[in-house]
Chain A
Amino acid sequence: MFNYIKADLYRLFHKKSNFVFYGVVFALFIAVVIIARTSVEGRTPFAEGYLELGIILLTQFFPLVFGIQAYVAVYTNDLSANTYQNIFTNGLSKVEFIIGKVITMIVYLLTTFLSGAILYSIMYVILLMIEDGSFDFESFKNLAIVSVTIFLGILGYATVANILAYFTQNSTISVISMGVLVSGVILQIFNLISLFTDKIEFLREYTLSYHMNEATNGMMPTILGGEASYSASFLAWGVALIYLIVASVIGVVILNKIEIKEGK
């Protein structure tokens, strides 16, 4: 299994387009911050709003952009390249493959999250220096908690999307399913159905989307200077881990039963 993780990380960090993607995203972020900072010159300190911007970016932007990119890079590249045959005929069991992929996803996401966090922090320190402000440790703690929530949420969504990925062995379907999950469409569907009937309303609290949403709502008051509520975040972490484990077990069962497609 560790050989597989080493190989997969080698692949990911030799894919030039990954670096280009994050380079562009980070460059855009820097540009946006500079433009926003220069447009608020002389008014309220930008550094104060910068931390709230971080929470908005984490909750609205990260899952869709970083989450889907990571999912494509880690999981669906194998499907689009049809490399499952080569991978599974080298003595790697399905269990090792799935656990290996989770670990690879964790390492890859950590790398991207940390890179983003370092850039964000550097920009924050520069802003503080310009505005002669003081470091807001409380807000950074809230950001860290939101980061962990989003991190675990992406992991949980990825393993659920993989159920369909393994079954269909189709990269397009798996990316679409990941997009549907991280965008909160599941909750929207529940909202729509609740207009007509409340018979399945009880299922809402079992969805990861519900708990991710509750966790986000719990942290949003900090944007307006209010108190954060951490209990929903901690509960979301637990639900995400349960989803990760259950979806992984289902993934193993599916992979052991299906025929690996030959590819064109």
Chain B
Amino acid sequence: MENIIETVDLTKRYSKAVALDSVSIHVRQGEIYGLIGKNGAGKSTLFKTMMGLAPYSSGEVKMFGDSSTSGLNKAHHRIGFMMGAHFFPYLSARENLEYFRKLKGIPDKTEVDRVLKLVEMEKVKKKFKSFSMGMKQRVSIANALMGYPDIVVLDEPINGLDPQGIADFRHLVQKLNKENKTTFMVSSHILGELGMMATRFGFIHDGRLVEEIDREVIRNKTKEQVIVKVSDIEKATCLLEEKFESIEYTVNGDKELVIMKMTDRTAEIAALFVQNDLSLYKLDTQEISIEDYYLQLIAKGGANNV
């Protein structure tokens, strides 16, 4: 699969501080790439260096296989980009988008209407300065979608959106990805939402790309958990340790056990407890969330340790 956006050992320094440390990302055609990291991890800095808004100290940025200055400038015509919501306050949403339609050289005058409908802003007439943050974000998303770009790069797009807006945004991204084969690169520090949307993840921490991994690989790499609620936790843990070698578990409160990597042996676990006169209140399997995976990744210091 072709890489639409690629960075090769991209490094950005501010005096002595290293904002990006040899970051090499690969955004492939047709995927929804989720760039995940806490505040200050380097997500926005990566986007700015990628899009030519900030010079970088070393490394390379390639778009559609071309790393030359003219190639990158041409590539920007095929990319929809959103970073914050910065438009002219004295113009309406429609007028602001009309400005950018002209700037992008999009000949179709109905394009503004189309993207405003996608974000449900087509009936809003007031000036941009009167918008709420959520409305501003919607206009910014609409701007990024104008002109059917090959790839849409969105920095923290769900900031300021209400729950319905977040759900609508997720459905819109998935719809465009499926129907138009649009590639998306989305950054967020809200792991849960990005976890539901992305097909591939890049985890960035303190300026370093800790891991880049497909959703399917995460599923295969991490095992599901078994959640058990019993009448006697102490007895339950003794029984488990006797029966299963190198079992991993954690205890929540005084009645709940979380057992790692044994979702295919729930019948054995249930039988063990029942046969030893333990009351079994709950036995359930659960997939590790992206959030859990990320937190484990950061805590354990890298991909090899998860």
Footprint of B on A, CB under 8 Å?
A: 3-4, 6-8, 10-11, 14-17, 77, 81-83, 85-93, 256-260, 262-263
B88/A83 in contact, CB under 8 A: yes
Does B17 lie at the interface of the complex (its beta carbon under 8 Å from any beta carbon of A)? no
Interface residues of B in 63-121 (CB under 8 A from A): 73-77, 79, 81, 83-84, 86-91, 95, 98-100, 102-105
Minimum CB–CB distance for B139 against chain A, Å: 11
In-complex Cβ contact of A87 among B83, B90, B95, B103 (8 A): B103
Does B54 lie at the interface of the complex (its beta carbon under 8 Å from any beta carbon of A)? yes
In-complex Cβ contact of B91 among A14, A86, A263 (8 A): A14
Minimum CB–CB distance for A222 against chain B, Å: 41
Additional A-B contact list (12), CB under 8 Å, known A3-B102, A82-B86: A8-B99, A83-B86, A86-B87, A88-B51, A88-B53, A89-B81, A89-B83, A90-B77, A90-B103, A259-B54, A262-B83, A263-B84
Does B52 lie at the interface of the complex (its beta carbon under 8 Å from any beta carbon of A)? yes
Minimum CB–CB distance for B226 against chain A, Å: 45
B53/A7 in contact, CB under 8 A: no
In this complex, what residue of B is CB-closest to A87? B103
Cα A4 to Cα B99 with chains together (Å): 9
Residues of A within 8 A of B44 (CB): 262
Does B48 lie at the interface of the complex (its beta carbon under 8 Å from any beta carbon of A)? yes
Minimum CB–CB distance for B87 against chain A, Å: 6
Asked whether A11 and B88 contact (CB < 8 A) given A90-B100, A262-B44, the answer is yes
B91/A11 in contact, CB under 8 A: yes
Does B55 lie at the interface of the complex (its beta carbon under 8 Å from any beta carbon of A)? yes
Does B183 lie at the interface of the complex (its beta carbon under 8 Å from any beta carbon of A)? no
In this complex, what residue of A is CB-closest to B89? A81
Cα A7 to Cα B103 with chains together (Å): 5
The interface on chain B, measured as residues whose beta carbon lies within 8 A of the other chain's beta carbons, has a size of 31
14 residue pairs bridging A and B, Cβ less than 8 Å apart? A81-B87, A83-B87, A85-B86, A86-B86, A86-B87, A88-B52, A89-B52, A89-B83, A91-B74, A92-B103, A259-B48, A260-B53, A262-B48, A262-B83
Minimum CB–CB distance for A165 against chain B, Å: 17
B86/A89 in contact, CB under 8 A: no
In this complex, what residue of A is CB-closest to B153? A89
Residues of B within 8 A of A14 (CB): 91, 95
Residues of A within 8 A of B104 (CB): 3, 90-91
Does B174 lie at the interface of the complex (its beta carbon under 8 Å from any beta carbon of A)? no
Cα A154 to Cα B77 with chains together (Å): 33
Cα A90 to Cα B54 with chains together (Å): 15
Describe B's contact surface by its main secondary structure. mixed
Interface residues of B in 235-256 (CB under 8 A from A): none
In-complex Cβ contact of A6 among B51, B55, B75, B102 (8 A): B102
A91/B76 in contact, CB under 8 A: yes
In-complex Cβ contact of B84 among A6, A85, A92, A256 (8 A): A85
Cα A90 to Cα B81 with chains together (Å): 8
Asked whether A81 and B88 contact (CB < 8 A) given A89-B76, A90-B76, the answer is yes
Cα A10 to Cα B97 with chains together (Å): 11
Residues of A within 8 A of B54 (CB): 259-260
Minimum CB–CB distance for B47 against chain A, Å: 9
- Nearest first, the 4 A-B pairs at minimum CB distance are A7-B102, A91-B76, A259-B54, A82-B86
In-complex Cβ contact of A3 among B76, B86, B105 (8 A): B105
Minimum CB–CB distance for A166 against chain B, Å: 13
Cα A7 to Cα B100 with chains together (Å): 7
A85/B83 in contact, CB under 8 A: yes
Cα A263 to Cα B143 with chains together (Å): 17
In this complex, what residue of B is CB-closest to A17? B90
Cα A243 to Cα B84 with chains together (Å): 35
In-complex Cβ contact of A15 among B84, B90, B98 (8 A): B90
Cα A260 to Cα B44 with chains together (Å): 12
Cα A3 to Cα B81 with chains together (Å): 18
Residues of B within 8 A of A90 (CB): 76-77, 81, 100, 103-104
In this complex, what residue of B is CB-closest to A6? B102
In-complex Cβ contact of A91 among B73, B84, B91 (8 A): B73
In-complex Cβ contact of B100 among A86, A93, A256 (8 A): A86
Residues of A within 8 A of B74 (CB): 91
Residues of B within 8 A of A259 (CB): 48, 53-55
Cα A6 to Cα B44 with chains together (Å): 30
A10/B83 in contact, CB under 8 A: no
A3/B87 in contact, CB under 8 A: no
Interface residues of B in 30-77 (CB under 8 A from A): 44, 48, 51-55, 73-77
Residues of B within 8 A of A77 (CB): 88
Residues of B within 8 A of A93 (CB): 73
